[in-house]
Amino acid sequence: MSDFSEIIQTLGEPGPLSAAVRLMIAMLCGGIIGIERGRRRRPAGFRTHMLVCMGAALTMLIGQYIAVGLASNPAYVGRTTDVSRLGAQVINGIGFLGAGTIIVTGRQEVKGLTTAAGLWASACMGLAIGAGFYLGAVLGGVLILMSITFMKYLESAVMSRARNINIYVELTDINDIGTVIDAIKSEKIRIYDIEINKADPNSGAYAGAVFSMRLPEKQPHSTIIAKLAGVGAIRSLEEI
């Protein structure tokens, strides 16, 4: 028990091992929350939560690193200096830039969240470099890169067999919506939300609908899409 307490105390003190463990724990915890959100087909999923969690952890490490550095510098003894004020403004300001990358398509599909989270996490990494916290910046940069690149394959593998699925169906005639609903229910799929878009003669757009559904059991989404694609009333079909 005493050995475990010593380990916890060591990880609570500033140092290379502590920084690495904290960032990896943030990556793990953010990823777990993100997977849960992604399984429910929420816009902010696995990588988005992971990036935001790691960026926040990196910001706290920067603050701790600066505080320890000033405490050990004789020139700052007895002085009160808020060295993190500019950093806080950067973190707030980057939100406006990130918001510009988030869009909602005509098919009610949210895009750009991972990009916005990556911008925010990258800003935190820049603060670490500016503070001279090179270890935290390097570790954070590597983990952020992993989240954006390699982790998307894990996310795809998990999401491809999730029971919740959203699809966009384009119809030749909006009156055929009942036929599509019957075809979905015949597969024992529960529909819990439908958003219908009427045809626009001016733009030549066909009528369409977004179905939010829950499958009776875990199975590849491609199987369900292939079955529904055979319905004659459907002009085109895709998962969103």
pLDDT in tens, 5-46: 666 666 666 678 888 888 888 888 888 877 866 776 666 678
Q: Summarize pLDDT for 154-186 with one digit per residue, the tens.
A: 877 777 778 888 888 888 888 888 888 888 888
pLDDT classification of 129: cutoffs 50, 70, 90: confident
High-pLDDT (> 70) share of the chain, %: 80
- How much of the chain is in helix, strand and coil states, percent to nearest 5? 60, 15, 25
Q: Which two tokens stand for residue 130?
A: 């500016």
pLDDT for residue 94 is more than 60: yes
Parts of the chain belonging to CATH 3.30.70.260 = 164-239
pLDDT for residue 216 is more than 60: yes
In one-letter notation, the amino acid at residue 42 is R
C-alpha span between 6 and 3 (Å, rounded): 5
Domain 164-239 homologous superfamily, CATH:
ACT domain (3.30.70.260)
Single out the residue of 165, 150, 159, 182 nearest to residue 237, CA to CA.
165
pLDDT classification of 72: cutoffs 50, 70, 90: low
- Is pTM, for the whole model, over 0.85? no
pLDDT at residue 180 in the model: 87
Listed in sequence order, the residues at least 6 apart from 53 whose beta carbon sits closer than 8 Å to its beta carbon are 26, 27, 29, 30, 33
pLDDT classification of 73: cutoffs 50, 70, 90: low
What H or E segment, with its residue span, contains residue 19? Answer: helix 16-39
Mean pLDDT, residues 145-149 taken together: 82
C-alpha span between 151 and 43 (Å, rounded): 16
C-alpha span between 9 and 3 (Å, rounded): 10
